[in-house]
């Protein structure tokens, strides 16, 4: 299955199986070194006492390879914006909204200034305010809870599923109080939360659900796309996301025409007609140039999603037998691997050894949201969240990984974890 998928997206599975890199150990004495430009990084040739070995300083994400594929479309679309001069809410914005809505399978999409603003505006459209409570996860990027606090509301944290790292539906009911106004699950690392179970709880209590799909755009849940699973779905177009622009950007999706109208007003300082402000809003507009970039990227996005799925499955298969926990993808779901994240013991030691082998890493996320100074809730304790915060480690991952890149990653993880 994995070999077939890899062949379909243009990665030779035989090379993944047969090729093996012997990476240079960081503790060996270096006699001489040279640096050579290489496709996805910089090749380093180290001559050591016993042998000459090669490895690459790998990039965490390779936007240049993607840009090379779509450069002609990018140039043409950006030039069109420069020619017509509608830099705010230009025709590219409407075209992008129509294409994104069709992709997700909902009637309404608004492109906005960032993923953070998408979440903020979604809460504003629901009328969230001081003293109210929003149930969410403590294991996410800061913005998830930040937008709740900005409106004077209070994040109420529920622990996550230890397999998917997403909000555990079993803990939601106990967290609901008369002040609860909404549930805000995060589809972390590229896989959707269990929205059927979450929605069932929400429906029993008459609560709206907002998906934070910043890392999962393009993923599916029971055949339906992320951001089209709940009353409101939000995503981010930050450059490193599965679909990213060349700056900040985001989008909000909904099936509710009334909410869509409110959101359009909120996006433009609460206006529905120029200089008539019916409500408080923000400057939440996406620049037309960024819309042009996203239209070019959408041309190849579905192919990139397929590559992400195939490469992620191949990576996990090749790491079997090593002392790591690889991503678990539910049978009814697909993941776009917005991050490829392992669990490891002795994380700092593993990071140090991987760095010595030319492999960058990141930790998403080392501090639970309720332990952040700006959101501190010292009475909260979520054991799964706190364990994950000590063990998760993200590796380079993008749709332009080559067979050599995968070889280096697998060999690096094997060496770093066996000697940690």
- Domain CATH number, residue 410: 3.90.1150.10
Give the pLDDT confidence score for residue 211 in this predicted structure. 98
Phi, psi of 325 (to 5 degrees): -105, 115
Domain presence at residue 53:
no
Q: Domain check: are 310 and 284 in the same one?
A: no
Pairing outcome for strands 133-137 and 108-112: unpaired
DSSP lists the bridge partners of residue 325 as 343
CB 157 within 8 A of CB 183: no
Q: How many domains does the chain have?
A: 2
Question: Whole-angstrom Cα distance, residue 144 to residue 183?
Answer: 11
Give the CATH number, domain containing residue 229. Answer: 3.40.640.10
Helix (H) or strand (E) holding 3: helix 2-8
Other CB atoms within 10 A of residue 66 CB: 18
Give the pLDDT confidence score for residue 5 in this predicted structure. 47
Which domain-ending residue is among 264, 280, 295? Answer: 295
Say how many CA atoms lie within 13 Å of 272 toward its Cβ.
7
Which domain-ending residue is among 240, 264, 295? Answer: 295
DSSP 139: S
Phi, psi of 98 (to 5 degrees): -65, -45
Give the pLDDT confidence score for residue 155 in this predicted structure. 98
Structure tokens at 371: 């332990």
Q: Domain check: are 156 and 198 in the same one?
A: yes
Q: Domain check: are 185 and 285 in the same one?
A: yes
pTM, full prediction? 0.89
Taking 50 as the pLDDT cut, the residues of the chain under it are 1-37, 42-53
CB 357 within 8 A of CB 415: yes
Give the pLDDT confidence score for residue 57 in this predicted structure. 83
Question: Whole-angstrom Cα distance, residue 213 to residue 241?
Answer: 10
Question: Whole-angstrom Cα distance, residue 319 to residue 326?
Answer: 7
Q: Domain check: are 401 and 267 in the same one?
A: no
Q: Domain check: are 107 and 137 in the same one?
A: yes
DSSP 374: G
Domain presence at residue 237:
yes
Phi, psi of 330 (to 5 degrees): -60, 145
Domain presence at residue 238:
yes
Range of the domain at 96: 65-295
Q: Domain check: are 310 and 288 in the same one?
A: no
Distance of CA 30 to the CA centre of its chain: 38
Question: Whole-angstrom Cα distance, residue 172 to residue 156?
Answer: 10
Give the pLDDT confidence score for residue 420 in this predicted structure. 56
Q: Domain check: are 188 and 327 in the same one?
A: no
Which domain-ending residue is among 243, 270, 295? Answer: 295
Give the pLDDT confidence score for residue 55 in this predicted structure. 57
Q: Domain check: are 283 and 311 in the same one?
A: no
DSSP lists the bridge partners of residue 392 as 343
Q: Domain check: are 353 and 281 in the same one?
A: no
Q: Domain check: are 88 and 148 in the same one?
A: yes
Give the pLDDT confidence score for residue 282 in this predicted structure. 98
DSSP 25: P
Domain presence at residue 263:
yes
Query: Which residues have a Cβ under 8 Å from the Cβ of 173 and sit 6 or more positions away?
Result: 201, 204, 205
Other CB atoms within 10 A of residue 398 CB: 22
Structure tokens at 153: 């509301």
Other CB atoms within 10 A of residue 160 CB: 24
Give the pLDDT confidence score for residue 40 in this predicted structure. 54
Phi, psi of 97 (to 5 degrees): -60, -40
Distance of CA 321 to the CA centre of its chain: 27
Q: Domain check: are 284 and 374 in the same one?
A: no
Give the pLDDT confidence score for residue 52 in this predicted structure. 46
Query: Which residues have a Cβ under 8 Å from the Cβ of 168 and sit 6 or more positions away?
Result: 158, 159, 160, 161, 384
Domain presence at residue 165:
yes
């Amino acid at each position: 299955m994995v070999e077939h998928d890899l062949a379909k997206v243009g990665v030779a599975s035989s090379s993944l199986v047969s090729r093996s890199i012997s990476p240079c150990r960081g503790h060996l004495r270096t006699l001489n070194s040279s640096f050579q430009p290489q496709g996805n990084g910089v090749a380093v040739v180290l001559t050591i006492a016993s042998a000459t070995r090669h490895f690459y300083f790998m990039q965490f994400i390779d936007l240049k390879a993607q840009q090379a594929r779509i450069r002609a479309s990018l140039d043409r679309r950006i030039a069109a914006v420069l020619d017509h001069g509608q830099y705010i809410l230009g025709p590219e914005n409407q075209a992008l909204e129509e294409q994104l809505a069709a992709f997700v399978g909902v009637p309404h999409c608004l492109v906005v200034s960032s993923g953070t603003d998408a979440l903020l505006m979604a809460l504003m459209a629901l009328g969230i305010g001081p003293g109210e409570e929003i149930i969410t996860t403590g294991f996410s990027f800061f913005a998830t809870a930040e937008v709740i606090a900005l409106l004077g509301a209070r994040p109420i944290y529920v622990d996550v599923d230890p397999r998917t790292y997403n909000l555990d539906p079993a803990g939601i009911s106990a967290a609901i109080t008369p002040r609860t106004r909404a549930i805000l699950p995060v589809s972390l690392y590229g896989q959707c939360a269990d929205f059927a179970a979450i929605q069932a709880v929400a429906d029993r209590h008459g609560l709206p659900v907002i998906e934070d799909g910043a890392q999962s755009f393009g993923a599916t849940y029971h055949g339906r796309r992320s951001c089209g699973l709940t009353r409101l779905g939000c995503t981010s177009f930050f450059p490193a996301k599965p679909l990213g622009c060349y700056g900040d950007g985001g989008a909000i999706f909904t099936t509710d025409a009334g909410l869509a109208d409110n959101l359009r007003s909120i996006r433009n300082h609460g206006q529905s007609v120029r200089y008539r402000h019916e409500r408080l809003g923000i400057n939440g507009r996406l620049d037309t140039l960024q819309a042009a970039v996203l239209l070019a990227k959408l041309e190849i996005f579905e192919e990139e999603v397929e590559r992400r799925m195939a490469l992620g499955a191949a990576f996990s298969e090749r790491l079997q037998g090593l002392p790591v926990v690889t991503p678990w993808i539910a049978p009814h779901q697909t993941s776009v691997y917005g991050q490829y994240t392992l669990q490891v013991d002795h994380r700092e030691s593993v990071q140090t050894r991987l760095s010595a082998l030319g492999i960058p890493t990141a930790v998403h996320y080392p501090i639970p949201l309720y332990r952040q100074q700006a959101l501190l809730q010292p009475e909260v304790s979520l054991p799964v969240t706190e364990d994950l915060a000590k063990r998760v480690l993200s590796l380079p991952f993008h749709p332009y990984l080559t067979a050599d890149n995968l070889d280096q990653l697998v060999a690096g993880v094997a060496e770093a974890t066996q000697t940690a």
